[in-house]
Amino acid sequence: MEREITHSLVDWKNRAKRKPILFRGARQVGKTYTVEEFARNHFTNFLKINLELQKDICPLLTSTNSIKSLITELGLYFDIEIIPGKTLLFIDEIQSCPEAIALLRYFYEEMPELHVIAAGSLLDHTLSEMKYSMPVGRIEFLYMYPMSFKEFLIVSGGRKLISYLEAYKPGEAFSELLHRKLIEYLRIYFFVGGMPEAVKYYISDGKLNETSRIHNEIITSLKYDFAKYGTRKQQEYLELVMLYSAKNVGNKVKYSNISKEIRSLNLKEAFHKLELSRIIHLIRYSNAGGVPLSNHNKDDIFKPLFFDIGLVNTIGKIQLINIQKLITMNEGALAEQFIGQELLTAEKTYIDPQLFYWIREKKNSNAEVDYIFQHNNKIYPIEVKAGKTGSLKSLHVYLLEKKFHTGIRFNLDMPNYGNFSTKVRIGNSTEELNYNLISLPLYMCFVLPEIIDSSPFSGVQQIAQTNVSSIK
């Protein structure tokens, strides 16, 4: 189960100056497995301490006056030689002993040559509520998500397809045969998702029924975690909001649509806790008039994104019957869920990414752009379509209003790009819009930055007036 984040770990290992790593990510996305595989392949010795299971170690970690004496005592206790440069010390489930997080700074200050990684479930809750001084500037973070479509292709035997996509340049011929093959992989990924255990079972037998069982087990374990969040009522709110989010991907949240009986403050708190758990990500509204997008957002206007597309289908009780022709009411939401996940994993692993969208709610001129993507200090609106066709009205309105020149569309058609002209009606007025469009199949989202950079539009400030045609 090869993971892309391992490349970041290898770079970290070989760096002359490094800090202890704190791994952050939702439950069961593969943090522990990845660290263990990394240790097996790159270190002579490996010491793993699970603070949820080995609670007697916590007092030792929190009462030590010297990192060197701590390492000596741990080596004796676990009967292992801890050699800086050759040993990886892994502190798992560190949220069970929050004081140990503060200890990480001393590894950096007193023994920086020792490789130290810490991880844990619900870690963001612990960090937000910590009563101890955070080791700011003395640790580094890595963010992990369910397996991306690229990672799914790797374990499914599609490495050469990845190379083909990574080498593609806008305007080049694209194989229709490979397009159909990639669509087939994409459809399967929609239902298997990226939870490593589900992917593992699918790869081993090629059957989807076993992945459904795994998905249900994961969903049940998430519900059991809610017992750590407070009162029974608060746990009920968490489950309600979790299920609502999975069934309403891409829809602007209105608390009254979730429940008219529950106070909006309680539902807001549930969204916050689920976001801290990384079970959901909130796609926040941004006016998107300039960079950075986070300077133009409103926290109280958002859409939910679930953390795994396979779990979305399991919660919605949607089954894959025909790979080529999946017709469900949820198809558009699945496409938007997929692109959201891909945009999260496209970010550097040391950055905690944010997702944004744009919405205009005015009489006779409503518009909504699914995602707003920032790349190289430029802003690109993204429209996501579940099929090969669909109106780009909202994208047109956005480009015209913001005076931007290039939009991006993801759908199930072959890749294409061009300069286009269309008439845009806003309210009672109609204006001419000349714009550039990069149109890509959904499965190419992981190469989006490279496609933008290699397109003729990467440095465009003004629209070229040649090769203009119309598009609906």
| Span 150-205, pLDDT tens digits | 999 999 999 999 999 999 999 899 999 999 999 999 999 999 999 999 999 999 98
Confidence of residue 131 (pLDDT cuts 50, 70, 90): low
pLDDT over 80 at 458, yes or no: no
What is the per-residue burial (b if ≥16 Cβ within 10 Å, else e) of 376-407?
Answer: eebbbbbbbbbeeeeebbbbbbbbbbbebbbb
| pLDDT the model gives residue 161 | 98
pLDDT over 70 at 321, yes or no: no
pLDDT over 60 at 239, yes or no: yes
Mean pLDDT in the chain? 89
CA distance 406 to 395: 10
pLDDT over 60 at 423, yes or no: yes
Domains located in the chain, CATH noted: 5-143 (3.40.50.300), 164-470 (no CATH)
Chain centroid to Cα 81, Å, comes to 37
Provide mean pLDDT across the span 18-47. Answer: 95
| pLDDT the model gives residue 134 | 64
Residues contacting 326, CB < 8 A, separation 6+: 187, 190, 320
Provide mean pLDDT across the span 206-213. Answer: 84
Provide mean pLDDT across the span 60-85. Answer: 91
pLDDT over 60 at 366, yes or no: yes
Provide mean pLDDT across the span 293-305. Answer: 88
CA distance 333 to 216: 20
Amino acid at 371: Y
